[in-house]
Structure 1
Amino acid sequence: MSDRVHVLLVDDQPLVRAGLRVLMADSPDLAVVGEAGTGAEAVRLARDLRPDVIVMDVRMPGMDGIEATRIVTAGPGAPRVLILTTFDDDEYVYGALRSGASGFLVKDMALDDILAAIRVVAAGDALIAPGVTRRLIEEFAARPEPGPPSLPPRALAGVTAREREVLALVGRGLSNGEIAQRLHISAATAKAHVARLFTKLDARDRVQLVILAYEAGLAP
């Protein structure tokens, strides 16, 4: 199993976990290494099993998925977390953006899209379910946290004009390939620009770049 993506399933509904487990059983590159029904159990299993990706529900008894995400993503070598949500019902899911989540899955997504999302996140990228990006970020932007903004204007001082263009397109939910097409550059060049943005803006992943693009006014 060393070449497979190790996945921890976290949901308080056994039927949801069972469905995801059956779905992944037919995928030779994915392996379910554990299941949890609470946030606290997810934290314990994440430490014991060291999965590559955690598919994390938001609403669970006791510790919710947002707090569990904050804990398991703290520190080096942390697993990637995909938030699993009904979205329309989860008002506080936006907090997961600040808690270290690498993306969002909606429970009514097509099964193949869920598997694809797990692979994308495992590869080191981040993903927000199609159709959710703009609404999610706009809601987030309307709920500022107290304290200074996370991206003051001077933070963009070292970002080139081309990188600003790339950041704006990331903020609109475009992939590296789509950015390359839009800017008439190679996919490798687009990827390099994104990588430099990670470094210059001290962003953990693509979800944070999306947030930063909105906070900087680059992705209205």
Structure 2
Amino acid sequence: MINIVLVDDHELVRTGFRMILQQQPDVRIKGEAGTAEEGLRLIRTLAPDVALVDVHMPGMSGIELTERVIRAKLNTHIIIITVVDDARFPKRLLDAGALGYLTKGCSADELLVAVRQVASGRRYLAPAVAQQLALATLDGNSGSPFDALSSRELEVAMMLVRGKPLTVIGDQLSLSPKTVSTYKQRLMEKLQVEHVIGLAHLMTVHGLLDAPNQVG
């Protein structure tokens, strides 16, 4: 039996995944969460085999959740859910340590293949993700500008486009507002954007943000 936890701030997405997965005799949904913080608590408490985790959520992101699971040496395998279509897939997401990477437009069959493969300890890359990584390798391109960011810089970027003030970001990441401001300045320079609207647009293009209207 494959025990699963769903972590996504969109209830409709969780419902869709649940409807597909709960019909399988070898799969059991152990819990659901609308935030990464709650998702991490469920993973620690329920110790599922697999967690399906949205890359971008309010507060802590799916990347940070994944890295915390890896650092804590928990036995749960993570499948990151991205919105990559034809954009360059950020290798930074691969660096986080998840075993699986799916796009939100995946088919039911692909979802099941990914879950079973990751549950057995093998990596699964959605075809769209694998294609973009292969193209980036072939043309010598680094792929995504977000590859230049550290995990913490990427975390700050994700919170900035949610409209969070520096003080709130500092509180959630246990950093001083001055340190957060330094991260902001550094990531803006690396990405060559001048404001948060531009940052949100860039994140949308590269599959890190669902839609530009999420700013604010």
Which of the five TM-score ranges fits, normalised by the shorter chain? 0.5 to 0.7
Select the residue among 78, 83, 86 that pairs with 1:86.
83
Higher relative contact order (CA 8 A, sep 6+): 2
TM-score between the two structures when normalised by the length of structure 1: 0.59
Compute the displacement of 1:120 (Å): 0.3
Deviations 1:4-30 (A, max 9, x none): 101110110011101111111110101
Query: Residue 98 of structure 2 aligns to a residue in which SS?
Result: coil
| Cα distance in 2, alignment partners of residues 132 and 99 from structure 1 | 15
Aligned ranges for residues 143-158 of structure 1 at < 5 Å?
Answer: 145=148
Cα distance in 1 for residues equivalent to 2:89 and 2:96: 12
Q: Does the residue aligned with 1:87 lie in a helix, a strand or coil?
A: coil
In the TM superposition, structure 1's runs of 4+ consecutive aligned residues that sit over 6 Å from their partners are 89-92
Find the partner of 1:127 among 101, 108, 124.
Answer: 124
**Residue 98 of structure 2 corresponds to residue 101 of structure 1:** yes
User: Which residue of the partner structure matches residue 26 of structure 1?
Assistant: 23
Equivalenced residue count is 144
- The match for 2:53 among 53, 56, 67 is 56
**Partner secondary structure for residue 132 of structure 1:** helix
1-structure distance, mates of 2:32, 2:69: 15
Q: 3-state SS of the aligned residue for 1:131?
A: helix
Residues 1:96 and 1:129: Cα distance change in structure 2 (over 3 Å): same
The secondary structure found in structure 2 opposite 1:73 is helix
Q: Residue 46 of structure 1: which of 43, 47, 70 is its match?
A: 43
Report the Cα offset of residue 92 of structure 1: 7.8
CA RMSD of aligned residues (A): 2.5
Is the CA contact (8 Å cut-off) linking 1:33 and 1:49 kept in structure 2? yes
Question: Quick one: which amino acid aligns to residue 40 of structure 1?
Answer: E
TM-score by length of structure 2 reads 0.60
